[in-house]
Chains A and B, each alone.
Chain A
Amino acid sequence: MDFLFQSFIGVEGITWLKYLVMWIIGGVLIFLAIKKEMEPALLLPMGFGCILVNIPFTNVLDVGETAGIIDWLFDVGIEVSEAMPILLFIGIGAMIDFGPLLTNPKLFILGGAAQFGIFLTILLSVLCGFGINDAASIGIIGAADGPTSILVAMKLESNYVGQIMVVAYSYMALVPIIQPAVIKCTTTKKERAIKMHYAPQQVSKLTRILFPIIVTIIAGVIAPSSLALIGFLMFGNLLRECGVLGSMKETASTTLANLITLLLGITIASQLRAETFISLQTMMIIGLGLLAFIFDTVAGIMTAKLINLFSKEKINPMIGAAGISAFPMAARTVQKMALKENPSNHLLMHGIGANVSGQVASAIVGGLILGLL
């Protein structure tokens, strides 16, 4: 009882208020994960971890010289080698089918264009008073790719790693809400109803096997800093396409990905500490992250419209919005919207093509930014 009393008077009232706010934030994340099913694999561990690390005087964080489990996970899994986000890319690579992209490589342009928001957000963040490393880490939220955001923010030693991680994953979960509004504002009903036929051309097995190797070599030569992400993503994809490592592909895309996602969520929570999280900068990062997603979506749509000016076969501009990396939510959102406009217009495969190209492009852009800084 004495200990409890000492605990309460040992921490100022204002600090307790901050802890309370963090518990509420944790509760909201858990609510969104369970009730709304928004990225539950990440938001649930993050939400619980948020509560866990904001209970004072516990042994989950470092106390003096004694290592706390969550701090240890963060040090080993993220801070020292960025192992967790990089290893997660093996799982993501094993899940991705590049078939729709190989069928229509033109879609790669949309994936690249949809990264423009990252650069615009970096500029905006600098104008908001953030240092260049923090600004670049905030901009990369627009990659709509959690592991890339974590890697860039960690490598650039951003002061806002926790905020960036939470905002990145939260907005990825909110893609089905953010994108339809942006798409409706930037396209006409006629454009949204453009019908695209999916005619899968022949893609040889050898091409599917060579593709990850080609991308690794090109990205590695031009943007060496992106190789950790791209290399592991493509390694995962090679496991999938080689056809002789069925059980490894299965393990990478299920067990490995699940295990790392589970640990990543609770490890990220170590950065959600009341002392640093509740600040004006956090609010600004939330706003800038939203802008990054909006700019990316607009850039993708506008590029699709630009291509239509020169192309015989018209692209539905909504496909451009799927160029952001949030896989596969962005493609699904586009498919849903297309069916609303025209029930016989199936854009899923085109959307997936743009979506996976966005996945590759965002990892390359992450590496490019690291290289440029």
Chain B
Amino acid sequence: MNILSLLAINTENVMKALEIMWKGVVAIFIVIALIIIVTKIVNKVCVSAETKHKERKEKETEQNQPKP
């Protein structure tokens, strides 16, 4: 006989709790992995774009400065 039924525990609820556990853990890590990947990509693109923009501005300022 099932130990859970001997202890008067609702087997259906236990199975549901186990289902929530594995599905929940998998889902949270999928969400987190996606957020990490997308954030890293976005940050890389944004930082390089900002650096290029800064360099271009610096060059423009240098060119606009009157030569002695």
Contacts and interface: CB of A to CB of B under 8 A. Distances in A.
A132 interface: yes
A181 B65 CA distance: 64
Interface in B1-53: 8-10, 13-14, 16-21, 23-25, 27-32, 34-36, 38-40, 42-43, 46-47, 49-50
The interface size bin for chain B is: 20 to 34
Given A112-B28, A368-B27, A372-B20, A215 B13 contact: no
A229 B7 CA distance: 38
A214 B43 contact: no
B36 A108 contact: yes
Contacts of A41: none
Contacts of A211: 39, 42
Interface of A: 102, 105-106, 108-109, 111-112, 115-116, 118-120, 122-123, 125-127, 129, 131-132, 135-136, 202-204, 206-207, 210-211, 214-215, 218-219, 222-223, 357, 360-361, 364-365, 368-369, 372-373
Contacts of B18: 123
A122 B31 contact: no
B44 to A, nearest CB: 9
Most chain A CB atoms below 10 A, which of B19, B38, B49: B38
Most chain A CB atoms below 10 A, which of B30, B31, B49: B31
Contact of B28 (A131, A203, A364): A364
Contacts of B28: 112, 115, 361, 364-365, 368
B23 A372 contact: yes
Contacts of A105: 35-36, 39-40
Given A203-B47, A222-B31, 11 more contacts: A105-B40, A109-B29, A109-B32, A119-B17, A126-B16, A136-B20, A204-B43, A218-B34, A223-B31, A360-B35, A364-B31
Contacts of B36: 105-106, 108-109
Nearest to B37: A105
A211 B35 CA distance: 9
Contact of A218 (B21, B31, B47): B31
Contact of B30 (A120, A131, A222, A372): A222
